[in-house]
Each structure stands twice: as structure tokens, then as C-alpha cells.
Amino acid sequence: MFEPVHGSAPDIAGQGIANPVGQIWAAALMLEHLGEQNAAGILVDGIEAALTEGIRTRDLGGAATTDEVAAAVVHHCQRALASDAGLRR
């Protein structure tokens, strides 16, 4: 289960309603800083693809859980890695 740390919202920890996009994006920024532009791009593309599909947590007007959003991002990243699209950045 992917459950982000809740800095200013510990009251929702463990409920599966937190939006994981910020933490995934932070990982992309770290990868970019480490010189891993392709990996960072794949993560950002995965986030964008999931959101474009409408997979969003309640704070963004959706109904998906934390795990569902994270799984959608992972799915899109795996698809990018399995195709030439993963090499575009």
C-alpha cells in the first residue's frame, strides 16, 4: 500500500484518501537532480497520463483512492518503459 506522509494532514493518514501525486512528483524532481532525466520524464508522463484519464483523488474532484492513483501512475510508467515512448525525454 502506498500511503504518503501527511505533514499538515495527519488526520487522514491511513485512510487511502491522500493524493500521492506530490510525492511521486518529488521523486521525479530528485531523479532529475541526479541526472536521470529519462526516468524523471517517465514519472511525470505517468502522472499526466493518469490525471488525463480522470484518475484523481477526492481533493481533485475524483473518487480514486491513494493506491488507485499510484497504481495508475505505475501502469503508465510501465507502458512507457515497454515502448519507445519511454525514451522521448
**Average pLDDT, consecutive stretches of 10 residues, N- to C-terminus, the chain (89 residues):** 57 88 96 97 97 96 96 96 67
Please state, in angstroms and rounded to a whole number, the distance separating the CA atoms of residues 84 and 88: 7
- Cβ atoms 66, 50 nearer than 8 A: no
Question: In terms of residues, how long is the chain?
Answer: 89
Q: What is the pLDDT of residue 12?
A: 84
3-state secondary structure 33-68: HCCCHHHHHHHHHHHHHHHHCCCCCHHHCCCCCHHH
Summarised one tens digit per residue, pLDDT across range 29-38 is 999 999 999 9
